[in-house]
Chains A and B, each alone.
Chain A
Amino acid sequence: MREILLGGVPRRGLVLLSILLALLVALPIVVNDYLITVLILILYFAYVGQAWNLMMGFAGQLSLGHALYVGLGAYAAAALYVHYGVSPWIGLGASIAISAAAGAIIGFLAFRFGVSGVYFAILTIAFAEFARIGFDHWSWVGGSAGFFLPVANYTRSDLWNLRGSPTMFYYLMLAMTVAAFVLCHLLLRARVGYYWLAIRESPEAAQALGINIFRYKMYAVVLSAAMTSLGGVVFAFYYNNLFPEQVFHISRSIELILGPIIGGIGTLFGPIVGAFVLTALAESLGEIMHAFGIDIPGIKQVFYGVCLLVVVMFLPDGIWPPLSKALGLDGKRIQGGDKPGKSDTGGGG
């Protein structure tokens, strides 16, 4: 299900967006520190979810190893900072380059050799696992014992070195999420966006219309990887510690796809809505249980699993499409009744 583009969104949608944005900008003033950290988490998942969505929702390639790019981006920038004092704003160049290269390798191997579907997903898992084990044994970045960034005090915000209060990180993530959103919107309106959707819907027809499938799939993978790596940079400087077991672990990869799946793959707002709903519900659940004095590790993950199950079973397109319809935001699109992809025979044969 493809999202409407800003150009086609009724005035109502634009107004809502502006209000929402204004609210988000003003929020830290009224809200306490704990909520800010929750919001940072939401924005982080919205951002990386959008990056993943680009590959899956737009180009149709299921990646279950996206934590690879988060990790590579995180370690690259962190290593440069810790070992050479390089600011993350410069270090992110390395993060992007390395992640993009990894994405390019995976994409090349997959697309050149015709690896797709479940095989592609497994390939992505394998690479993430490879990185996890590899980094576990790489002492220059701490190995399995972990890599630590010096924690400065939070009285001064040092944006250049990304040392500062949660509020600083909040605005940073907000800016990144908005930028990601705008970027995807622009891409969807351009040739590359149309071609991605064509490839997703029917690669055979797309090729017959002059689309170089390999090239455009590569664009999607590389861009997705590069975008994700920036999320990794923030991850590193926000948490100040990196452990391969955590950063590259498959649960990270699954965590970051929950948002887009629950919100709606292939839609522009899906990842954001999904990240918000999921994190808000999970934190609320945590709070409620805490209030009752129950503390069960793993209950949050079970909750995620159940949410995912429910959405996959009953709302396969995610929350956003029916929600946007209910809010009257889905523009003039006239939906069909039948399932896409079931073509009919021509009769004669």
Chain B
Amino acid sequence: MAALLELSSVSKSFAGLKAVQDVSFSVPEGSIVALIGPNGAGKTTCFNLVAGVYRPDAGEVRLGGARIDGWRSDQICRAGVGRTFQLVKPFAGLTVMENVIVGALNATAGVREARQKAGEVIEQLGLGPKLDHMASSLTLPERKRLEVARALATGPKILLLDEVMAGLRPTEMDHMVAVLRELNARLGLTILLIEHVMRAVMALSAQVIVLHHGEVIASGPPAQVTRDPAVLECYLGEEAV
């Protein structure tokens, strides 16, 4: 499988602090890859580098072989990268439908088409009953689903999900996992997700990349990575291993 997203020796520092150091990994087309690591490991920074919020100090980011580092985030979205935010950012003054229409407009010619597409995505994410509700009236799990729906509506080639499972109850999480699996299977949607909830990581991902202090310390199938001593050490500390 060709790599849809590829990071090559990407580095980023903030005021002297090295958030991401010489990170390289690739996400094969049509796969689901998880990016894990302790707090402060640099996972969200990687997302922000891919999505164009930051420009890498060094290295390259390629989407489908073409370089996208240095592009603006709206250009990168139009190129096929959809992303959610760790701290959800709903358009509070708009309804659920209107929120998703904004996303859908990225992939359609006009509002009518966008409305249709938005409706489909909303159903997929189980937000149908809340179509006309203001985004500000949604509960947190619903806002997370809205966040995913909106990003999905943009018609991305790859979806970057930042901790979408956090705060969800097990049934809600299972539903989200099922939806993502289905999107991946049916549409071939590539997914890169940051997750702390191991249950979801194990259930979804074909490959896991572990970040620690801004560097990749392990990479491989979930079962293998979770047994890797280096990985266990960074989560549990030297003594525990």
Contacts and interface: CB of A to CB of B under 8 A. Distances in A.
- Judge A-B direct contact (beta carbons within 8 Å): yes
Interface of A: 1-2, 189-191, 194-195, 197-198, 200-202, 204-213, 266, 332-341, 343-349
26 contacts: A189-B111, A191-B110, A197-B91, A197-B98, A198-B102, A201-B93, A201-B94, A204-B53, A204-B89, A205-B90, A207-B73, A207-B74, A207-B77, A208-B73, A208-B83, A209-B106, A209-B154, A210-B105, A334-B132, A336-B92, A336-B135, A340-B135, A343-B87, A344-B167, A346-B88, A346-B162
A213 B89 CA distance: 16
B102 A341 contact: no
A76 B53 CA distance: 43
A195 B106 CA distance: 10
A207 B74 CA distance: 5
Contacts of A2: 93-94
Interface of B: 39, 51, 53, 72-74, 77-78, 82-83, 85-95, 98, 101-103, 105-106, 110-111, 114, 132-138, 140, 143-144, 150-151, 154, 162-164, 166-167, 196-197
A78 to B, nearest CB: 40
B150 A204 contact: no
Given A200-B93, A201-B93, A202-B90, 17 more contacts: A2-B93, A191-B111, A197-B93, A201-B92, A205-B91, A207-B72, A208-B51, A209-B74, A209-B150, A211-B106, A333-B132, A340-B93, A344-B88, A345-B86, A346-B87, A348-B166, A349-B86
Contacts of B110: 191
A346 B134 contact: no
A208 B151 contact: yes
Most buried by A among B94, B106, B110: B94
Contacts of B88: 343-344, 346
Given A191-B111, A198-B91, A334-B137, A211 B74 contact: yes
A345 B162 CA distance: 12
Nearest to B39: A349
B106 A194 contact: no
Nearest to A190: B111
Contact of A194 (B86, B93, B101): B101
Task: Tell me whether chain A's interface is mostly helix, strand or loop, or mixed.
Answer: loop
Contacts of B196: 348
A195 B94 CA distance: 12
A349 B166 CA distance: 9
Most buried by A among B78, B93, B110, B144: B93
Nearest to A204: B89
Nearest to A201: B91
A129 B58 CA distance: 46
B106 A346 contact: no
Contact of B87 (A189, A191, A337, A345): A345
A202 B143 CA distance: 14
B74 A336 contact: no
A171 B144 CA distance: 51
B137 A336 contact: yes
B98 A340 contact: no
A2 B134 CA distance: 10
A205 B85 contact: yes
Contacts of B94: 2, 197-198, 201
A206 B151 CA distance: 10
Given A195-B102, A204-B85, A210-B77, A336 B91 contact: no
Contact of B102 (A209, A212, A336, A346): A209
A163 B6 CA distance: 68
A348 B92 CA distance: 23
B74 A346 contact: no
B34 to A, nearest CB: 13
A2 B82 CA distance: 26
Contacts of A213: 74
Contacts of B136: 335-336, 338-340
Given A346-B166, A346-B167, A349-B86, A195 B111 contact: no
